[in-house]
């Protein structure tokens, strides 16, 4: 089992990281996730740098694939599917939170 880190702004995922340092495999989710983060930050009044930075968090998750790149790609595909445009729009309206 490998462990990946999913980086979120509040409840909106933005990036997947497997490993640490220069050798880490990093996968940025599609641009629509960052667009949702920007809209959510504006709706939440997190316009200043400190308020924006406070919203970031990391969550570790185990993956079973033996191939690191495949594991990251599969997790990215799952997140892309779990967060359709309608869900991201709702998160943006809620200031980045699943539950307002």
pTM listed for this prediction = 0.91
**How distant, in Å, are the alpha carbons of 16, 30, 73 from that of 80?**
12, 8, 10
15-60 pLDDT, tens digit each: 999 988 888 999 999 999 999 999 999 999 887 788 899 999 999 9
Round to whole Å and give the CA distance between 87 and 97: 11
Round to whole Å and give the CA distance between 56 and 10: 6
74-84 pLDDT, tens digit each: 999 999 999 99
Residue 30: its H or E element:
none
């Amino acid at each position: 089992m490998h462990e990946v880190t999913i980086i979120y702004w509040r409840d909106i995922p933005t990036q997947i990281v497997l490993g640490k340092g220069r050798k880490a495999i990093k996968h940025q989710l599609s641009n629509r996730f960052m667009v949702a983060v920007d809209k959510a930050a504006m709706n939440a009044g997190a316009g200043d740098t400190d308020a924006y930075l406070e919203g970031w968090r990391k969550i570790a998750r185990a993956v079973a694939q033996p191939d690191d790149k495949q594991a990251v790609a599969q997790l990215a595909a799952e997140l892309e599917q779990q967060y359709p445009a309608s869900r991201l729009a709702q998160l943006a309206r809620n200031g980045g939170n699943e539950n307002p």
